[in-house]
Each structure stands twice: as structure tokens, then as C-alpha cells.
Amino acid sequence: MGRRFFKGGALIAPVPAALVTCGSEDGKRNVLTAAWTGIVNTRPPMAYVSIRPERHSHGIIMETGEFVINLTTSKMAKEVDFCGMKSGSKSDKFAKCGFETVKGETVSCPVILASPLSLECRVRSFEELGSHTMFIADITGVTADERYIDSKGKINLQQAGLMAYSHGEYFALGRKLGDFGFSVRKKGAGK
């Protein structure tokens, strides 16, 4: 069996099915589903989100220079899909989805309490790339649901039921296959 060629396309998958929040707790705010998001740097910690200019959140982020990337769980699938299908310019998606929020610690944006992990971001730069604008941001803070923090202070999201997106479909992430470095670790080490 060989390989089949396709012309270039956005086919890296799975990707996070994240909820990006923007605006402020006491003013204009929005939440949208974004799959085009991820980490771009470790030191300093940086992330990105790519958003179409016609999306309601695009203008809010351009104005405020802040956003929060909220990871999602399989229990949130219906709400995540809704936030990707409906415009925040016409309705309050927080209310429609029943999302409770708090103000970020380092940004004015809302943090979704149902999210197991939220990255607070301040835009460093943006690049208009065609269909999307990529907002590159410093991660100024991280909040995690205490249920997923162990006695040593380590964040363990294995039990959170994280959700991913792959070519138009949502998936619950499955079982753990190993830890970083397991392929080269000496037998018996790290137990």
C-alpha cells in the first residue's frame, strides 16, 4: 500500500478544541471556539491563536490585546460546538452555554470555570496571513482546576477528559501511552 498525494491544506490533527475568551468581565466580552491554537515558545512562555477577521472576537482582541485559551472537556462538547457556530455579536454565548466565569489574574478577560486549564495571554504581535490573523501572545498566567493538581503541585490533566478536534469532528482523548522520555529511560528508572 502506497501513499496518496493531496495539494497543500490545513490537515494537522488532532488539535485542541479550545474556547478563547476575550473582552472584560464587566464590559464587552465574547467566547469562540478555536482549533488553530497552540504553544510557540517555552522561554518566555508564548501561545498563539488564529482567528478570521470577520469573527466578533477578532475586533475585541485587536482592541484589548488580550485573550484566554480555555482547554475543554468531552462534557463541554455541545457548548464548544455552539460557540463555534454562533456569533457573539448577536447573543451572549456565556449565558446561552451556562458558563460561569471569573476575571483573569493577569488579564481582564473572563476565565471559564468549567475549563480544567486556562492560559491568560497578552498579545505581543499579530500577523495577517490571509484567511486568518495570527495573534502571538505572552502567556502571563495559567489557572488550573484544583481537582487536577496533585499533592506535589503538579498539574495532571489525564482525568479531565480533554477534547480534541480532527477534520470536522470532536474526540475525547484516550488512554496514556507513556511519559516524555519513556522511550530512552532505563528500565526501573522514574517509577
Quote the mean pLDDT of the chain. Answer: 94
> Would residue 4 count as lying in a domain?
no
Q: Is residue 99 part of a domain?
A: yes
Q: What is the pLDDT of residues 127-137, one digit of tens each?
A: 999 999 999 99
pLDDT, tens digit, 9 for 90 and up, residues 153-168: 999 998 899 999 999 9
pLDDT at 188 over 90: no
pLDDT of 189 higher than 90: no
Contacts of residue 190, defined as CB under 8 A and 6 or more positions apart, other chains included, come to: 179, 181
What percentage of the chain carries pLDDT values higher than 90?
A: 81
Domain containing residue 131: CATH number: 2.30.110.10
Asked, for residue 2, whether it belongs to a domain, the answer is no
Strands (E), the chain: 15-16, 18-23, 29-34, 37-41, 46-51, 66-70, 101-103, 110-112, 117-128, 133-144, 163-166, 169-172
Give CA angle at 152 (187, 76), nearest 5°.
95
The residue among 106, 125, 93 whose CA lies nearest residue 28 is 93
The predicted structure's pLDDT at residue 149: 94
What pLDDT shows up at residue 66? 98
Q: What is the model's pTM?
A: 0.93
Q: What is the pLDDT of residue 191?
A: 55
Domain span holding position 89: 15-172
- Is 156 within the bounds of a domain? yes
Residue 38 lies in a domain: yes
pLDDT, tens digit (0-9, with 9 covering 90-100), for 30-83: 999 999 999 999 999 999 999 999 999 999 999 999 999 999 999 999 999 999
Number of folded domains that form the chain: 1
pLDDT over 60 at 190, yes or no: no
In a domain? residue 7: no
At residue 177 the predicted structure's pLDDT band, cuts being 50, 70 and 90, is confident
Residue 117: predicted pLDDT: 98
